[in-house]
Every structure is written in C-alpha cells, then in structure tokens.
Amino acid sequence: MQGCQQKTVLHELARANSSVVILVGNNPEAADMEHEILALSESPKTVLFGFQGTTGVRSAESVNCLHVGRGSMTVGGLHRALTANEQQTLLEAFGDTGYKLTFEDDMEGWLYCHAAFILPIVYLSYHYDCDLREANLSH
C-alpha cells in the first residue's frame, strides 16, 4: 500500500499479535509511524521498513505491476542495521522463493533519497502521459 495509506492501519498493526511489523512502500513519515506503532502497542514490537523493487499503475479495475526476476526488497531499521537474527528470520520467511532481500542500516535516509530521485521522474512521466520520448530535457 502507499505510504499515505499506511496511517490508516497503524492502530491495527500495533495491536497485531506479532513482535515484528514491516511497513513496505514510499514512506516520508516513517519515523512518525514507528513512534505511533510503538506508543500504541501493548507489547514489545520491532518496526522495520522496506521498499519493493517494483513499479506499477493502479486503476479502478486492476493493478499492473512490473518487477525484475522474482522481485526484491530493501529492508532495515529506521536508523539501525538489522541483527544477524533478524536478517536470518527474514531470509527464512522468504525461503527459496527467489525474492531478493537487501539489508539497509538507515531506511529513513534510503527512503528520503529514493523519493528525491524518483519523484521528479514520476511527475515528468505523468506530465507526458508516460511517453518520455516526448520530453525535451534540454530546456
């Protein structure tokens, strides 16, 4: 789900019978969301953040998704490296699916950098109805 949609499920995630929550997607409010989940949770919880290496377009009728291979995700703590145990747990969860995990030790910084890089490209694409051959970048 989109980062802006994640706010609507934070209370449920805080109450979930799980010691780990991973919010996946564009998320410029990651720190606030982590704080809210931890404040609402009645038991200790680890909040991680991830970003899938996919792209797509959602319409009222369908979602078209594009990914390379079996998919991939960059995942980590807001400002910390995952422990060896956390990494192993995630690797085991995805088993032999072929889904590639890349571990990041500063997901907030990673998410901000990604947004700064990708948003101008996205808005340029939307402006040209996704036909970047029409864009004249020399002006």
Q: Is residue 31 part of a domain?
A: yes
Domain holding 76, by residue range, is: 3-52+72-84+103-134
Each residue's pLDDT tens digit, 18-76? 999 999 988 889 999 999 999 999 999 999 999 998 877 778 898 888 777 888 999 99
Total domains present in the chain: 1
Number of CB atoms found within 10 A of residue 43's CB: 10
Q: Is residue 58 part of a domain?
A: no
The answer to whether residues 33 and 23 touch, using CB atoms and an 8 Å cutoff, is: yes
What's the mean pLDDT in 116-134?
86
Query: Going along 1-139, which residue ranges are E strands?
Result: 20-24, 46-52, 54-58, 63-67, 72-76, 100-104
pLDDT at position 132: 82
Q: In what order do the strands lie in the sheet with 20-24?
A: 20-24, 46-52, 72-76, 100-104
Does residue 14 have a pLDDT over 80?
yes
Does residue 112 have a pLDDT over 70?
yes
Q: Is residue 65 part of a domain?
A: no
Residue type for position 59: S
Q: Is residue 27 part of a domain?
A: yes
Q: How far apart are CA 138 and CA 80, in angstroms?
A: 40
The answer to whether residues 36 and 14 touch, using CB atoms and an 8 Å cutoff, is: yes
Q: Is residue 63 part of a domain?
A: no
- Banded model confidence at residue 136, pLDDT cuts 50, 70, 90: confident
Q: Is residue 12 part of a domain?
A: yes
Q: Is residue 25 part of a domain?
A: yes
Q: What is the value of pTM for the model shown?
A: 0.83
Q: Is residue 42 part of a domain?
A: yes
